[in-house]
Structure 1
Amino acid sequence: MIDSMINYFTKIPYLMRHAYHRQKSQWIWLVAPFIVSLIALFITMLIFKMNGTEEIKQAQGYFKLTAGTSFFYIWIAIYRSYKTFKSEYFTGKLFNLNPIVQNMVIAIVMCLTMLISLICIIIATPVNIESSIYSTLFFGIMSMLFVVVVSTLLGLCSILSQKVDIIYYVISCIMFFIVPILFIPNSNTTLLSHVLMLNPLYYLIEGFAQSVVLGVLSLNNIPYHLYYLLFLALLCVWIYALYRIVAHKKYVYTIASRNVKGKSNHSAQDENTTKEN
């Protein structure tokens, strides 16, 4: 255990350089959502200006814009991370390196870019809207944890199954409609809101949107924060178990490959002996 920790920390400079070059080669995944978010913000401001929209409706519009922006940033971060995890798992094991470092770097870079986009939205909101940069930063940290944990879980599942991509697309489509982007809960949908809040992604999307439109009000629900952290802890337990399952399957596959290779070598030797006789 201690040797593994020492090896991990001594390899950090190499891991950071490797992560930097990988991010540099995939810069389009970072630039594209940022440009799209700025274009969406500009179009929203232009529509509000041309129509003379009242501030209450502007608040609803910025709420949906913030929710949609944060959703797609998180979606892209998880997708990139678990796809990278699968390739890094096999190459990293050869050098006794943990592939989760790539997930952490992707999560940090994507979330920092998302925060810049959200701060641009905060600056664009009307004066009467009480935005909070501190609560936005808080949910940015929570989203980084979410991206790292979920992408690691999906990365391990993608090693065991080839259907993870399809499952991810389907779940993402469902999530888009049950988080507060198109549908914003009100006082008449309290029960439905509590049911939807069991979804941790709902916690993040609503937290970002409320931070931009309602300010620090998004930080008042302490039990919900604890529930979210407990949910991530449960996912970490699943990750711990999946690591053992993947390692076991890899061991079984290696042994089987060696046995097949050994049998083929023995067969070749027998054929050569037969020919000599």
Structure 2
Amino acid sequence: MIDNIILYFKNLPHLITYCVRRLKKIWKWFAMSLVIGIILVLGLEGIFDINHNTDIAQGRWLFRVTSLIVFGHIVLSVYLSYKFYRKDYMVMKSFHISSVTPTIVIALLAFVDMFILGLIIAFLKPINFETSLLSLIYYLIMTSIFIGVIAVTFGLLKFILKRFDTIYFIMSAICFFIVPILFIPKTHLSIVDHILMLNPVYYLVHGSAQSIIFGAVSMNNIPYHIYFILFLALMCVINYALVRYIAFDKYDSLNDTHLENDLTHLSDDNGKKLEHDGVFNNNENANEDNEMIGKNE
């Protein structure tokens, strides 16, 4: 344990350099997401000024746009994170550097993006609605942790499933329709609403939008917070198991490769030996035949 800590700090300069390179590759995505989010919010405010919508109507549409922004950042961040994690896993493991750190950097970028957009929405929304910054920060922290944990899970699954990207896009498309973007949950939840709430992305999207538009009311459901924390703990356990499985799988594959090479060399050597023995025996038989012919003559 102590050796790993010492090794980590010894390789920290290399880790920082690696993270900076990753940051240079991905910052454009988050800058673009920030610009698109600002355009969406300002465009929606312009429509409100033209149509003179009521505060309730403005609150509903701002809720939808906020949910869309949070959902988009989650999908983008998880995709970039697990793609890079799969590439970094084998490389950084060889140098005893944590491959999770670039994922954390991506999650922090998503946090900053969503926080800036949340403040803009809070400033432009109707005065009748209150914003809870503490609730917003809490949900954004939970979102960042979720991005880091689930990206590791998906990155490890990509070692096992070759077409995992297709599966991820299908899951994201389905998730778009079952989180509160196209619909807003009612005050009295039905059985269907409770089933949809089992989705952890629903928790993050709904909680973030609710904390910006409606304030601290998003923190009232204590059992729901406990459920999400337990879900993250379960995903950490699954990640631990997947890391062990992939490590043993790679080790077995490496051993199988070495065994096949050894068998190939052994068969080649045996073949050459048999061929040499066959030639030698043929020469001996030929000499014996020549001797017999000479005697007969």
- Structure 2, unaligned runs of 5 or more: 278-297
Amino acid at match of 1:145: I
Aligned length: 277
Residue 189 of structure 1 and its aligned partner are, at CA, apart by 4.3
Instruction: Write the mapping of 1:87-98 to structure 2, written as runs, cut at 5 A.
Output: 87-98=87-98
Instruction: Write the mapping of 1:125-144 to structure 2, written as runs, cut at 5 A.
Output: 125-144=125-144
- Structure 1, unaligned runs of 5 or more: none
Identity percentage over the alignment? 35
Residue 6 of structure 1 and its aligned partner are, at CA, apart by 2.5
- Partner of 1:169 in structure 2? 169
CA distance in 2, matches of 1:152, 1:136: 25
CA distance in 2, matches of 1:41, 1:114: 13
- Partner of 1:99 in structure 2? 99
CA distance in 1, matches of 2:230, 2:160: 26
Secondary structure at 1:180 match in 2: coil
Instruction: Write the mapping of 1:1-277 to structure 2, written as runs, cut at 5 A.
Output: 1-187=1-187, 189-266=189-266
Residue 188 of structure 1 and its aligned partner are, at CA, apart by 5.4
Amino acid at match of 2:52: G
Amino acid at match of 1:127: I
CA distance in 1, matches of 2:131, 2:153: 34
Amino acid at match of 2:44: T
Amino acid at match of 1:222: I
> Over residues 35-72 of structure 1, what are the superposed CA-to-partner deviations in whole Å (9 max), with x where a residue is unaligned?
11111111101111110111100000110010000000
Amino acid at match of 2:240: Y
CA distance in 1, matches of 2:242, 2:273: 46
CA distance in 2, matches of 1:163, 1:5: 36
> Over residues 251-276 of structure 1, what are the superposed CA-to-partner deviations in whole Å (9 max), with x where a residue is unaligned?
01111122233334445656777898
CA distance in 2, matches of 1:94, 1:259: 23
Amino acid at match of 2:101: V
Structure 1 range deviating more: 176-185 or 257-266: 257-266
Instruction: Classify 1:275/1:23 alpha carbon distance in 2 versus 1 (closer, same or farther; 3 Å).
Output: farther
Secondary structure at 1:27 match in 2: helix
CA distance in 2, matches of 1:149, 1:65: 26
Structure 1 range deviating more: 233-242 or 260-269: 260-269
CA distance in 2, matches of 1:122, 1:111: 16
Amino acid at match of 1:227: Y
CA distance in 1, matches of 2:158, 2:100: 14
Secondary structure at 1:31 match in 2: helix
Larger Rg: 2
Amino acid at match of 2:252: V
CA distance in 2, matches of 1:272, 1:9: 53
TM-score w.r.t. the length of structure 2 is 0.88
Amino acid at match of 1:81: S
Instruction: Classify 1:219/1:189 alpha carbon distance in 2 versus 1 (closer, same or farther; 3 Å).
Output: closer
> Over residues 162-185 of structure 1, what are the superposed CA-to-partner deviations in whole Å (9 max), with x where a residue is unaligned?
121111111111111111000111
TM-score w.r.t. the length of structure 1 is 0.94
CA distance in 2, matches of 1:210, 1:10: 44
Amino acid at match of 1:107: A
